[in-house]
Amino acid sequence: MGFAARIGLQRTTLVTYAVLVLILLSLPLYASRAHVFLAGKALTMAIFALGFNLILGYLGMVSFGHAAYYAVGAYTAGLLITRLSIKSFEIVLLSSVATAALVAGVIGFLCVRHTRIYFALLTLAFAQMIYAFLLKEYSITRGSEGIAGISKPEILGVALDYGNNYYYFLLLMFIASLVILKIIVNSPFGKTLQAIRENAVRSEFVGVSVPRYRWIAFVLSGMFSGLGGALFAPLNMHVSPELAYWTFSGEIVFITILGGHGIFEGPALGAFAFEFLKYFALGLTIYWLIIVGSVLIVIVLLFPKGIAGTLGDLVGKRWSK
């Protein structure tokens, strides 16, 4: 429990983590291939959402363009695998995360000095520029066709295209991302981000360089977003410009609010809830967005803390009895 305590995990939280991991580990034993694929996609979206929550939950800034970094990671992985025939997933992931960090660093430097609607609109504008690039630069990105035939590379010499190897690798990367981000948000850096969220003027008054902290958080958020995209590309075997479109950025905002942006684990729960809700809604009607939108309205009006916050309150009440 020493390490768990250092990263801010209580005993009950650790037990909950262990149960959820066991459920995910055993999923391929009883679920269909479609549901395993869906869970794999949810894991990539959970990494994306946890990274995005550094901006929304811990800085209180809404980015409407975070899909751009997910797309950059996905396209970098797709190009390296299909064009350069790189089989080492270590190289692919490092390159994808580094590229996403570079793009986020440049865009973040131009955006973090602004707040509220100005920050949101700037991030949206830059994301649309990346979407336009992916759509128009046919010689590099294949335009609206996207990049197809993205195979699953090897990791430490182990083939990931056999059985459920890739799903378990995604689960491992999700757990690693969860632990790393938990350490970050419970570090002095994470506490400083929360102080900036509560009162940026006072934080600057006591000597905190608010733009610098915001920029570092933006880059870290872009890195984890790019990691999610790089993991998604071989899973889906195809990437397209829609990954950078503003509606996809809206999805990650929806996911984070659905799960509960005020709680660290909330966005991850939101990712799973959203992917399976979308899956079943698509099976019911072509107007699935009405169902998804209605759920968001109910969550915001009746359960403002999201899924994680609501479940936490219910469990807390039961324990208090």
For 156-221, give the DSSP string: TTEESSSTTHHHHHHHHHHHHHHHHHHHHHTSHHHHHHHHHHH-HHHHHHTT--HHHHHHHHHHHH
pLDDT value for 277: 86
pLDDT digits (tens, 9 = 90+) for 214-249: 999 999 999 999 999 999 999 999 999 999 988 888
100 versus 291: the higher-pLDDT residue is 100
Q: Residue 159 corresponds to which tokens in the numbers above?
A: 């083939």
pLDDT digits (tens, 9 = 90+) for 244-254: 988 888 889 88
pLDDT value for 176: 93
Mean pLDDT score, 168-172 = 93
pLDDT value for 183: 92
CA distances 40 to 46, 81, 86, 180, Å, are 10, 19, 22, 20
Mean pLDDT score, 160-185 = 90
Phi-psi sector, 281: left (phi>0), alpha (psi -120 to 50), beta: alpha
Local structure of 88: helix, strand or coil:
strand
pLDDT above 80 for 15: no
pLDDT value for 181: 93
pLDDT value for 13: 63
pLDDT digits (tens, 9 = 90+) for 176-223: 999 999 999 999 999 999 999 888 888 888 888 888 999 999 999 999
Asked if residues 145 and 83 have their Cβ atoms less than 8 Å apart, the reply is no
Of 107, 111, 121, 116, nearest in space to 72 by CA:
107
Q: What architecture is domain 2-246?
A: Orthogonal Bundle (1.10)
pLDDT digits (tens, 9 = 90+) for 276-312: 888 888 878 888 888 888 877 887 788 777 877 777 7
Beta bridge partners of 239: 147
pLDDT above 90 for 318: no
The one-letter amino acid code at 5 reads: A
pLDDT digits (tens, 9 = 90+) for 33-49: 888 999 999 999 999 99
The one-letter amino acid code at 246 reads: W
Asked if residues 259 and 270 have their Cβ atoms less than 8 Å apart, the reply is yes
pLDDT above 50 for 320: no
pLDDT value for 93: 93
Q: Which stretches does DSSP call E strand in the chain?
A: 147-148, 154-155, 158-159, 238-239
The one-letter amino acid code at 304 reads: P
pLDDT above 80 for 315: no
pLDDT value for 112: 85
Mean pLDDT score, 74-88 = 91
Pairwise CA distance, residues 260 & 59, whole Å: 15
pLDDT value for 115: 77
Local structure of 154: helix, strand or coil:
strand
Pairwise CA distance, residues 193 & 196, whole Å: 5
